[in-house]
Amino acid sequence: MPALRPQAAAALRRVGHKGADLIEPGNTRESFDAALTHGVDMIEFDVLPALGADGRPDAANGELLLAHDYTDALARTPLSLADGLAHLTSPAFASLEFDVDLKLPGYEERVVTALREHGLVERSLVSSTYPQSLARIRSLEPALRLGWSVPRARRDYTQSKLYVAPALAAILVAQRILPGRAADALRAGRCDALMVHWRLVTRRLVGAVHAARGELYVWTVDEAPRIRALEALGVTGIITNDPRLFGNAPATA
């Protein structure tokens, strides 16, 4: 298992979602450059296999693209993973780390190979909502840090009048059970970090993750007051579409 950073007195990790998606379109060179300009410590980007001739994801042979979903991929000409990594390995990004978010299972070995070829294994955390993907990556490259992303959801159901009540009830249940599940996964070595939607973050979860010597990254936070509140709870890092907000939420010295 990779060595974990000590939690005591650690500065907040400033993470740009898709680079800086509210400044420049996400998962692009321009977005990565904007994130760098605004002082992030880590850039998160999404990896998705291209669709095959049958219209289904071709995890085995399809080109690996930097795209959040297929609506995103089909609306533009996305960067390939190889081109994205070539940009991110330029000298300007030498001090940054990367959260490589796999949107589907099945192409883990290809991503690991790409990270090795670009010398980014030690600077990368690979995240996924699929535990089987994390297990596969652990077997392929133990030096890679792994982030278990929760929950797996296609959209924010709290924004729907039809689903808001059951969605809020599900959140309360998840808040109760997640600390124990997170601690178990961290202690068993199935992951090194939790990547958690802000609605699921509680003081109990922060304590459980720290006690298990793990990291806790919170997504996706686009309000400065919430950034300050989460930092006060002691989370490891915050993922935002707008890194300019960190100017209103100074990292702990």
159 versus 61: which is more confidently predicted? 61
Which residues lie closer than 8 Å to 37 by C-beta, 6 or more apart? none
Mean pLDDT, the chain, rounded, equals 92
In whole angstroms, give the CA distance from residue 171 to residue 238.
20
Helix (H) or strand (E) holding 218: strand 215-219
CA–centroid distance for 79 within its chain? 18
Task: Give the β-pairing of 145-150 and 124-128.
Answer: parallel
Q: What is the reported pLDDT for 129?
A: 97
Report whether pLDDT(250) > 60: no
Domain boundaries, the chain: 13-248
Domain 13-248: give its CATH architecture: Alpha-Beta Barrel (3.20)
| pLDDT tens-digit readout, 170-219 | 889 989 999 999 999 999 999 999 999 999 999 999 999 999 999 999 99
| pLDDT tens-digit readout, 209-227 | 999 999 999 999 999 999 9
Which residues in 69-106 are b (16+ Cβ under 10 Å) and which e?
eeebbeeeebbbbeebbebbbeeebeebbbbbbbbebb
SS3 148: strand
Residue 221 burial class via C-beta count within 10 angstroms: exposed 0-12, middle 13-18, buried 19 and up: buried
Is the peptide bond between 225 and the residue preceding it cis, with omega within 30 degrees of 0? no
Q: What is the reported pLDDT for 161?
A: 62
